[in-house]
Amino acid sequence: MEPIVTIASGAIRGRTEAGVTRFLGVPFAAAPVGPKRFQLPEPAPAWDGVREATENGATCAQTPYPAPIHALIGSDGIPGDEYLNANVWTPDPGAEGLPVLVWIHGGAFARGSNARAIYDGTAFARDGVVMVGINYRLGISGFAELEGAPSNRGLHDQIFALRWVRENIAPFGGDPDNVTIFGESAGAMSVASLIAAPQTAGLFRRAIMQSGNGAVAADADDARKVSAELAATLGISPTAADFGKLGPDELRTAQNAVALALMQDPDPQRWGASVIQNGGGLMCLFPVIDNDIVEGPPTEVLRTHPDRAVPLIAGTTADEFRFFTVPAGLAAAITADALPFVLTRYGIDPAVAQTYSTQRPDATPAEVFNAIMTDLSFRAGTFDFAEANATTEPTHVYEFAWPTDLPDLGACHVLEVPFVFDALAHAHSITGPTPPQALADEIHAAWVGFATDGTTGWPQFTAAEKNVRIFDSPESTTVTDPRADELAALRQSFTRA
């Protein structure tokens, strides 16, 4: 079947298979190319006739992941100008009032798209949810702080897409008043920013943060240091006018060079303390405090404006940081002698390693480093955001603990995504050949229940009782405040460093 629906811009033709209808590559905004690359999003031009929506649309300009990461999760790169597009999966475009999930992909604000196989929304539609996957501007296009350009263009794209969903989701069978946003990694950090932003009131009812952090926001002055480095690499000035003259290839080249320089030399004096600390040494371009949609780090904003909280699921994987060190061979370089030096480079008092080592008597120095960095980059910031949110809205926290069959990766970053989407068949490159389907059934059902009516199946997280659902196989459990001593030692380490 090839059903046709009509949205504000015109009619689109999708495709129905096995009871699920998908509409792919639907533009929600005009193509941001040329001078418009560095301006606010604009409505997509209307079209005549029926537009085909059966193939994935273009993706924002980006380079492939380095080979070891590409081997795990693949890369994105579909050419074209209309990369501000949405994919929609629905159980029935003729239905009414179905819950809606809007997916915001990850990729360190520099890579990724809605076209990845593990983001396929078929299983959500199968289970009665309309799912939308959106693209947004990345890297220099979306987040470089440039003279003559609005800040946070990538976040503006996300808000624009949410307004598009509100105005257009009914023809797909969705309820515009029952929208849940969810995202992983940079997508989860975006979710935190969107919850805290005053401009998003009424655009979504609930939210899910997977492997995010509520502290991710750069000071504008620090962000301008990164832009100056980018401009110096290109031999231009850090202005929208000069950057607007460049093509995607030049932007990609500069972006990669600066990202590599930051990872090799995470010096706060060079890049700015907020870029190093809040970017985890992994990101150089991410949301900037602009006193508009980003009034400050999201957790701090939420503490000041608790009325902006929404019902929330937030969590991390148990071994997030192994994803960044093991495939690239960096873990092998972290010896007992190197560990104190490396921790100091990230502003952490090396004494914190003793607490983590005591809890892990058989751990190597690299495993201790990865545990500390997992907490620094993801778990601590997730707990803080959850605590702030829980003061006014129901909040549920989880940890994904099942370790992949692949050597030394453990329960690494990204690993929970194919379980959430019930898309294990597309994920053996990171899960190994025999991931537990029962665990995917459990997690996917929890996300469906939350999107439908706010239920999760495990107790709430509060300041007094920090319940955490540990997703694992063969059995998941709920525990209270896991490894609290390690988080306490990590926080204290910053006061001593």
Domain membership flag for residue 12: no
Model's pTM, two decimal places? 0.97
Residue 240 shares a structural domain with residue 324: no
Has 151 been annotated as catalytic?
A: no
Q: Which position among 227, 413, 486, 493 bears the catalytic label?
A: 413
Looking at the structure of the chain, the number of domains it has is 2
Residue 272 shares a structural domain with residue 362: no
Residue 495 pLDDT = 54
Q: Which position among 75, 185, 274, 476 bears the catalytic label?
A: 185
CA distances from 184 to 76, 104, 418 (A): 16, 7, 11
Residue 497 pLDDT = 44
Q: Which residues of the chain have pLDDT under 70?
A: 494-497
Residue 250 shares a structural domain with residue 341: no
Domain boundary (238, 260, 279) is at: 279
Distance of CA 335 to the CA centre of its chain: 31
Residue 268 shares a structural domain with residue 383: no
- CATH number for position 324: 3.40.50.1820
Q: Which position among 300, 320, 367, 399 bears the catalytic label?
A: 320
397 beta partners: 314, 468
Name the residue with tokens 């955001």. 385
Domain membership flag for residue 139: no
Domain membership flag for residue 441: yes
Domain membership flag for residue 128: no
Domain membership flag for residue 480: yes
Residue 351 shares a structural domain with residue 484: yes
Residue 225 shares a structural domain with residue 341: no
Domain membership flag for residue 482: yes
Has 357 been annotated as catalytic?
A: no
Domain carrying residue 341? 311-496
Domain membership flag for residue 11: no
Residue 250 shares a structural domain with residue 360: no
Has 211 been annotated as catalytic?
A: no
At 17-39, the pLDDT tens digits run: 999 999 999 999 999 988 889 99
